Amino acid sequence: MKKNIYKRIMMVIWIITFLLIIGTAYAYFSSTLYVTGIVNLTGTFDIRFQSATITNMTELESVNISDDGISLAFSVKLALPGESDTITYVITNNGTIDATLDNLVVTSESDSDVTFVCSDISGDLLAGTTKTGTITVTWNENSTSALKDVNFDAYIKANQKV
């Protein structure tokens, strides 16, 4: 009878040990670690146009930077087909966070007689630095129109540098 009790105790110990090993192995191979938290960043993201000028600007032409510095509004008068005007602008990162610029986005009324060519400003714009770019507005030399008034806006697309 003592052998029977001893065998039963040993069997229970083996079953418990086996279950512990199986449970530990399962937990080891199927565990997922979830980490949650809150990150507080300090700094400012402040990309804006600092200045803009039109080459050979006449009294009929204008360039205006919006109050928030995010967009430019231009009015360009072209007198002859084939004529072009160039707008030179400076973008500044006044913030404390580095930025990555996309190309400048130009919006205007749909006009197949006018083309816009923007210099490539894409890339890094570190905090406290500036970048200079140009927009060239050209009236198609094969146009039959008598005069071209071109009004357009340009705005910056930028993201926080990662």
- Strand-strand pairing, 130-139 and 148-155: unpaired
Residue pair 75/151 in contact (Cβ under 8 Å)? The answer is yes
User: What are the pLDDT digits (tens) for 50-90?
Assistant: 999 888 777 778 888 888 888 888 888 877 888 888 999 99
User: Is residue 41 in some structural domain?
Assistant: no
What was the pLDDT predicted at 105?
Answer: 78
Residue pair 119/109 in contact (Cβ under 8 Å)? The answer is no
More confident residue, 27 or 12: 12
Distance (Å, whole) CA 63 – CA 61: 7
Into how many domains does the chain fold?
A: 1
Residue pair 142/81 in contact (Cβ under 8 Å)? The answer is yes
| Residues contacting 41, CB < 8 A, separation 6+ | none
- Global pTM reads 0.67
User: Is residue 63 in some structural domain?
Assistant: yes
Measured in whole angstroms, the distance separating CA 9 from the mean position of its chain's CA atoms is: 69
Tell me the sheet residues that pair with 74. 63, 152
State the residue range of the domain holding 80: 47-160
Is residue 35 pLDDT above 70, yes or no?
yes
User: Is residue 135 in some structural domain?
Assistant: yes
What was the pLDDT predicted at 64?
Answer: 87
User: Is residue 140 in some structural domain?
Assistant: yes
Distance (Å, whole) CA 105 – CA 102: 9
What was the pLDDT predicted at 41?
Answer: 67
User: Is residue 74 in some structural domain?
Assistant: yes
Percent of the chain at pLDDT > 70 equals 88
Residues in the chain: 162
What was the pLDDT predicted at 162?
Answer: 54
User: Is residue 103 in some structural domain?
Assistant: yes
What was the pLDDT predicted at 26?
Answer: 79
Is residue 92 pLDDT above 90, yes or no?
yes
User: Is residue 25 in some structural domain?
Assistant: no
CATH number for position 75: 2.60.120
More confident residue, 10 or 111: 10
| Residues contacting 146, CB < 8 A, separation 6+ | none
User: Is residue 5 in some structural domain?
Assistant: no
